[in-house]
């Protein structure tokens, strides 16, 4: 047996690699040996690179940066310290320079070298990137990346002719100047929402990024009004809305509907936004939009059978992985507009790729060309300062929204501090006026304010203590108490939805309408509070938290868990089921059906739309008192509790904490089991390997 393969298999047995990782190295070795002289075995560098590539893909990376593996990749892998000796021992047998690694890969018939112009014979591995930064890919991910890069480049380069006078007139109506009172209170600032609409009017691809409360869907609604007003045939304008999850799709449609209704009232009957809203239909998941074929990775809609759409708006794009983005761009008609909305600083998708982060890498710099600036001045009346450097064609169609209307207080300040990596006031961020106070200072201040408020004025309005930290050391029992009682100045907790559940007006003769109103109240009360965990496993993971909270609610007499299904059980769907109309990430509550019967159904609330499924038909769900921060994307809660794991680790990152914080609508509690966890998370930023950054 090849000694390198033996080592890789041993590492799989110890849990450092996945079995899949070492199995791929086995496959490559066999494939290599069949195509060359049997005496010339696959080189160790090829086998190690293959296993690491598979391992990296499992962690969300698209490719393996070969510069990172010339020496033992301790930081890249973030393995336990006890692995260091084994890594060092293996690397003594491997090439010591980048050129030697490249030569070992180029000699193998299982590797396609793009730079050399080698023919494509179906090799499982592809060597791409640049001479200075070579990248190793699994074949299909290289293909996905090429498809996305080419489609984005084509769309970014295409520009439509714009009637500048008409566009400016409508933009002035859609974004009226602030009143004299507002002007006196707020100094004039760049209207990035207006800029986003102006750029989208001329382009076939627009990327709009920004944190929570910056008005991404507000901007999208005004863009739809602008497109309708300037369309040659407005009655035929076909618009579709989509998002990665059912919950995010429902929120998108609700926000768009509310904004369009408000606009219709202010614009009158000159344009028919209500008719456009009716034609749009429901927002769908990307899987539903593309028509996923059961049991395969294929979709009904492709370039040969494109989507029937003129404008497609996709929300929560940070959750869209590389393969899905490739499929979406492949199915979109060339003449259709694509509007991508999302927060580039949130967690990337669970699967491989960080497409939005790659597309928006330079968004904050606003590197607009003189031609773009002149266009924005003419159409939007916005004068932007000249950029010291001009960005790519894509950057001319990318806008970062900067003013948060939701997070103007402590939660927003904390999110900005975390995003900037400023844990304590002794740290300085040069030239960054958006970080007024360090994260720990903010949390400590919020804690002190909340406790003082509770002690001095128990019945006071909850203005103080928007953010709160449970100081270390802390036990999981403290989180359970939050679930049952809330905290000072932030009383929202799970007791409230259970009280609402017990307040059912009638259990025997309630009408369908009365029952629906009761169910909606229960679901709305449940969504006011949520525990978000960084990990699944361990005492601070969502699995253990769910068990502890459920047991505590039962002991308090608020819940009566009997078997798998019981009234009041919150559930989260873990797998798409188109037939049932439920999708991965949907969260609902199990409640009795209307009438006197005892039949239980799982109810889900999407905006104002209520839907339900018999519990007997739900096979893929888990209890959802606590959920992971990953699963919470696209949602927000009145009081959010972010629970950090006591062990820390490579999963605890700046992006994870930022995403958890920005799920809080009004109140935030951070649970730090031991000192320094928040600071260590802020120092650890996710950098997913991708070739899109080099294109």
| pLDDT at 24 (0 to 100) | 92
Q: Which of 329-338, 460-469, 557-566 has the lowest mean pLDDT?
A: 460-469
Strand positions, DSSP E, 595-660: 600-606, 609-614, 621-623, 626-628, 637-643
Statement: residue 464 has pLDDT above 60? no
Q: Which residues of 566-593 are buried (b: 16+ CB within 10 A; e: fewer)?
A: ebbbbbbbeebbeebebbbbbbbbbbbe
Given this model, what pLDDT does residue 459 score? Answer: 43
Instruction: For tokens 């969502």, name the residue.
Output: 542
For the CA atoms of 35, 41, 44, 50, the dihedral, rounded to the nearest 10 degrees, stands at: 30
Q: What is the CA radius of gyration of the chain?
A: 27
Q: How confident is the model at residue 695 (pLDDT cuts 50, 70, 90)?
A: very low
Note the pLDDT tens digit of each residue in 473-516. Answer: 778 888 898 899 887 777 789 999 999 998 887 755 567 888 88
Q: Is 397 helix (H, G, I), strand (E, B) or coil?
A: helix
Buried b (16+ CB within 10 A) or exposed e, 213-250: bbbbbbbbbbbbbbbbbbeeeeeebebbbbbbbbbbbb
pLDDT band at 466 (very low <50, low <70, confident <90, very high): confident
Q: What is the pLDDT of residue 607?
A: 67
Quote the mean pLDDT of the chain. 83
Among 6-15, 19-28, 44-53, 340-349, the minimum mean pLDDT is found in 340-349
Q: What dihedral angle (degrees, nearest 10) is formed by the CA atoms of 359, 363, 369, 371?
A: 80
The Cα-based distances of 45 to 53, 80, 126, 135 in angstroms read 12, 22, 15, 14
Question: For 96-119, how does the pLDDT look when each residue is reduced to its tens digit (9 = 90+)?
Answer: 899 999 999 998 888 999 888 878
Residues 6 or more apart in contact with residue 473 via CB below 8 angstroms: 673, 674
Strands 311-314, 239-243: pairing kind: parallel
The model's confidence at residue 182, banded by pLDDT at 50, 70 and 90, is low
The full DSSP string for 162-211 is --HHHHHHHHHHHSPPPPHHHHHHS-----HHHHHHHHHHHBSEEEEE--
> What's the length of the chain?
695
Question: Crossing angle of helices 370-379/164-174, nearest 10°?
Answer: 60
- Name which of 141-150, 173-182, 273-282 the model is least confident about: 173-182
* Residue 295 zone, left/alpha/beta (φ > 0; ψ -120 to 50; rest): left
CA distance 538 to 178: 52
Most confident listed range (209-218, 314-323, 420-429, 597-606): 314-323
Is the pLDDT score of 691 beyond 90?
Answer: no
Residue 66: the pLDDT is 93
pLDDT of 292: 77
pLDDT digits (tens, 9 = 90+) for 253-294: 888 888 888 888 888 777 888 878 878 888 888 888 888 777
Specify which residues 65 forms β-bridges with. Answer: 135
CA-to-CA separations, 311 to 340, 431, 647, in angstroms, rounded:
11, 39, 46
């Amino acid at each position: 047996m090849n000694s390198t393969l033996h080592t890789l298999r041993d590492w799989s047995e110890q849990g450092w690699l996945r079995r899949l990782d070492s199995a791929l190295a086995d496959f490559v070795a066999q494939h290599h040996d069949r195509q060359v002289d049997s005496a010339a075995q696959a080189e160790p560098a090829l086998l190690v690179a293959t296993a690491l590539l598979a391992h990296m893909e499992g962690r969300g990376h698209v490719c393996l940066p070969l510069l990172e593996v010339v020496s033992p990749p301790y930081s890249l892998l973030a393995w336990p310290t006890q692995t260091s000796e084994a890594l060092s021992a293996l690397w003594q047998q491997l090439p010591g320079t980048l050129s030697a690694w490249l030569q070992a890969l180029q000699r193998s018939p299982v590797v396609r070298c793009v730079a050399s112009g080698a023919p494509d014979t179906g090799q499982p591995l592809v060597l791409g990137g640049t001479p200075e930064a070579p990248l190793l890919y699994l074949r299909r991910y290289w293909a996905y990346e090429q498809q996305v890069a080419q489609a984005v480049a084509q769309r970014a380069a295409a520009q439509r002719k714009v009637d500048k006078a008409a566009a400016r007139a409508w933009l002035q109506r859609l974004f009226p100047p602030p009143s004299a009172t507002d002007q006196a209170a707020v100094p004039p600032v760049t209207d990035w929402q207006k800029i986003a609409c102006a750029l989208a009017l001329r382009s076939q691809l627009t990327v709009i990024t920004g944190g929570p409360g910056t008005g991404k869907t507000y901007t999208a609604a005004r863009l739809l009004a602008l497109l309708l007003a300037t369309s040659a045939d407005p009655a035929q304008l076909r618009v579709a809305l989509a998002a990665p999850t059912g919950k995010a799709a429902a929120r998108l449609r609700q926000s768009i509907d509310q904004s369009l209704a408000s606009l219709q009232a202010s614009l009158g009957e000159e344009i028919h936004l209500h008719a456009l809203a009716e034609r749009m239909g429901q927002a769908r998941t990307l899987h539903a939009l593309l028509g996923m074929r059961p049991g395969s990775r294929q979709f009904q809609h492709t370039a040969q059978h494109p989507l029937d759409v003129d404008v497609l708006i996709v929300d929560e794009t940070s959750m869209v992985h590389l393969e899905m983005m490739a499929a979406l761009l492949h199915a979109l008609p060339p003449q259709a507009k694509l509007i991508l909305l999302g927060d580039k600083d949130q967690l990337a998708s669970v699967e491989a790729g960080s497409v939005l982060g790659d597309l928006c890498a330079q968004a904050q710099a606003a590197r607009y060309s003189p031609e773009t600036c002149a266009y924005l001045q003419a159409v939007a009346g916005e004068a932007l300062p000249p950029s010291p450097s001009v960005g790519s064609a894509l950057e001319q169609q990318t806008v970062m929204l900067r003013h948060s209307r939701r997070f103007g207080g402590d939660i927003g300040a904390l999110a900005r501090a975390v995003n900037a990596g400023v844990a304590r006031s002794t740290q300085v961020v040069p030239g960054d006026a958006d970080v007024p106070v360090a994260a720990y200072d903010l949390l400590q201040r919020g804690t002190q304010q909340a406790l003082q408020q509770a002690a001095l004025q128990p019945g006071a309005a909850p203005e103080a203590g928007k953010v709160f930290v449970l100081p270390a050391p802390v036990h999981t029992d403290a989180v359970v108490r939050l679930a049952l009682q809330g905290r000072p100045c932030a009383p929202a907790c799970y007791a409230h939805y259970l009280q609402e559940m017990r307040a059912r007006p009638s259990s025997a003769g309630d009408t369908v309408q009365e029952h629906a109103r009761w169910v909606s109240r229960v679901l709305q009360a449940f969504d006011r509070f949520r525990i978000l965990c960084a990990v699944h496993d361990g005492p601070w993971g969502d699995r253990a938290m769910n068990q502890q909270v459920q047991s505590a609610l039962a002991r308090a007499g608020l819940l009566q868990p009997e078997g798998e299904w019981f009234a009041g059980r919150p559930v989260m769907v873990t797998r798409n089921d188109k037939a049932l109309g439920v999708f991965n990430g949907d969260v609902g509550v199990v409640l009795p059906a209307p009438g006197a019967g005892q039949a239980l159904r799982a109810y889900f609330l999407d905006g104002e739309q209520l839907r339900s499924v018999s519990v007997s038909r739900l096979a893929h769900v888990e209890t959802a008192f606590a959920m992971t921060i990953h699963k919470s994307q696209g949602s927000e809660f009145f009081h959010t509790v972010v629970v950090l794991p006591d062990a820390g680790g490579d999963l605890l990152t700046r992006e994870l904490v930022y995403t958890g914080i920005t799920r809080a609508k009004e109140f935030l509690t951070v649970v730090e089991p031991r000192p320094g966890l928040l600071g260590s998370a802020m120092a650890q930023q996710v950098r997913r390997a991708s070739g899109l950054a080099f294109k």
